[in-house]
């Protein structure tokens, strides 16, 4: 019996057997596709030409349209609080911008960009970043990771941080606006809804290098920061989740990249001490208020050494499943996580096979990997991280065909 797309995803996340492997493209900002690759994919699928909606103007990601999701048989919908979704058309929210003649597109606010004489595009609001003519993404100095280690490690003023969080508290009107919007999306689709835009935001504050040293040398300070972050996020969850719990299925809780290409940034013991207790409190709060809603952690890199701790933290879903980093393969990741935490992503080697392989090589690897990762279920198909600008549409189509051909 064929399931609805929402039923398919939730069955899988509950380690039950769905009718077929659930798939995602663009459910959140690490499972998407470059806005430069997107028009080529649309054309290759034989769909009507359209301007890509560039919702992430840092990674330059397109918001996948419903007909593209249908063509690739994808089961997940994107919603960003009460701002936008790929389920609702809302043309009034999107304005034309051509990125200096490089890409006719739609953006939410074209006034945040400045095109310079050499073709470089500067983003002038938020974190200032630039996209040279040879690049397909915006970037900051040192990739946004400060690298001045010659002086004293910079610490945030905790009183100011607490004051900022107080000002950011959700008002009743904002809660109702978000709830109304999520309900509208829910009523417009049978896809599982992944809620974006209200993450706890631990990350590596001040840069990976500086924050890692603070974690080793100033643990009381790190605990104080994490206590403020956790208290603020739980307060937001307690205000918002009762109003949206019947309209969303998965909540993107945190986006903390704990792994490099060969190991974790922090020793597992330090992660266990400084992150695990706070993650546990957040997940316990969400599960207490909305037991049916799944919590989603995004953490890139070689994090195999802390998988037991991620599971102990109470997350329901781990993404992007970067089994290509470190000395463990996809079999070891699956065996470690089987029946304990769902894996979302990991369907193909996104650094080698997807960009450099033939469509047949992409198909064969994706089918082999996905067959193993879906054993016992708890696997939603996606690449390891976003589909980049250089990826051919033939490889993208082969990728999703492989997932469709996996026998559950």
Quick check: 385 and 56 in contact, CB under 8 A? no
SS3 of residue 135 by DSSP? coil
Q: How far apart are CA 347 and CA 369, in angstroms?
A: 6
Q: Spell out where 272-403 has E strands.
A: 294-298, 317-319, 342-344, 379-380
Q: The domain that contains 24 carries what CATH number?
A: 3.20.20.210
Q: Is residue 114 part of a domain?
A: no
362's CB contacts (< 8 A; 6+ apart) are: 348, 353, 354, 395, 398, 399, 402
Q: Is residue 99 part of a domain?
A: no
Q: How many domains does the chain have?
A: 1
Q: Is residue 10 part of a domain?
A: yes
Q: What is the pLDDT along the chain (408 residues), one digit of tens a residue?
A: 799 999 999 999 999 999 999 999 999 999 999 999 999 999 999 999 999 999 999 999 999 999 999 999 999 999 999 999 999 999 999 999 999 999 999 999 999 999 999 999 999 887 789 999 999 999 987 777 766 666 678 899 999 999 999 999 999 999 999 999 999 999 999 999 999 988 888 889 988 888 999 999 999 999 999 999 999 999 999 999 999 999 999 999 999 999 999 999 999 999 999 999 999 999 999 999 999 999 999 999 999 999 999 999 999 999 999 999 999 999 999 999 999 999 999 999 999 999 999 999 999 999 999 999 999 999 999 999 999 999 999 999 999 999 999 999
Range of the domain at 286: 5-33+65-88+155-405
Q: Is residue 84 part of a domain?
A: yes
Q: Is residue 347 part of a domain?
A: yes
Q: Is residue 236 part of a domain?
A: yes
């Amino acid at each position: 019996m064929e399931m609805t797309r929402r039923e398919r995803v939730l069955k899988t996340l509950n380690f039950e057997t769905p009718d077929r492997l659930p798939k995602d493209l663009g459910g959140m900002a690490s499972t998407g596709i470059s806005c430069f690759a997107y028009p080529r994919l649309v054309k290759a699928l034989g769909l009507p030409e359209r301007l890509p909606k560039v919702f992430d103007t840092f990674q330059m990601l397109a918001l996948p349209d419903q007909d593209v999701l249908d063509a690739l048989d994808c089961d997940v919908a994107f919603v960003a609080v009460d701002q936008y979704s790929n389920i609702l058309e809302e043309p009034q929210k999107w304005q034309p911008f051509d990125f200096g003649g490089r890409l006719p597109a739609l953006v939410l606010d074209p006034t945040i960009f400045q095109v310079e004489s050499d073709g470089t595009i500067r983003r002038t609001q938020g974190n200032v970043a630039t996209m040279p003519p040879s690049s397909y993404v915006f970037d900051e100095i040192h990739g946004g990771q400060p690298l001045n280690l010659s002086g004293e490690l910079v610490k945030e003023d905790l009183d100011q941080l607490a004051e900022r969080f107080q000002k950011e508290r959700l008002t009743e009107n904002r809660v109702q606006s978000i709830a109304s919007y999520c309900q509208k999306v829910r009523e417009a689709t049978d896809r599982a809804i992944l809620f974006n835009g209200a993450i706890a935001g631990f990350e590596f504050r001040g840069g990976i290098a500086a924050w890692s040293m603070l974690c080793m040398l100033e643990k009381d300070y790190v605990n104080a920061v994490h206590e403020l972050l956790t208290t603020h996020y739980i307060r937001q969850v307690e205000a918002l989740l009762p109003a949206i719990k019947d309209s969303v299925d998965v909540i993107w809780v945190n986006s903390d990249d704990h792994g490099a290409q060969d190991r974790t940034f922090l020793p597992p013991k330090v992660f266990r001490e400084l992150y695990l207790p706070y993650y546990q409190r957040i997940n316990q709060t969400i599960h207490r208020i909305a037991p049916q809603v799944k919590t989603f952690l995004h953490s890139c890199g070689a994090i195999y050494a802390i998988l037991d701790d991620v599971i102990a933290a109470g997350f329901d879903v781990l993404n992007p499943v970067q089994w290509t980093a470190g000395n463990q393969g996809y079999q070891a990741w699956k065996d470690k996580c089987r029946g304990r935490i769902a894996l979302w992503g990991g369907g193909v080697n996104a650094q080698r096979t997807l960009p450099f392989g033939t469509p047949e090589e992409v198909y064969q690897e994706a089918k082999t990997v996905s067959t193993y990762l879906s054993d016992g279920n708890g696997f939603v198909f996606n690449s390891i991280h976003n589909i980049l600008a250089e990826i051919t549409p033939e490889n993208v189509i082969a990728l999703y065909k492989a997932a469709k051909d996996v026998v559950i």
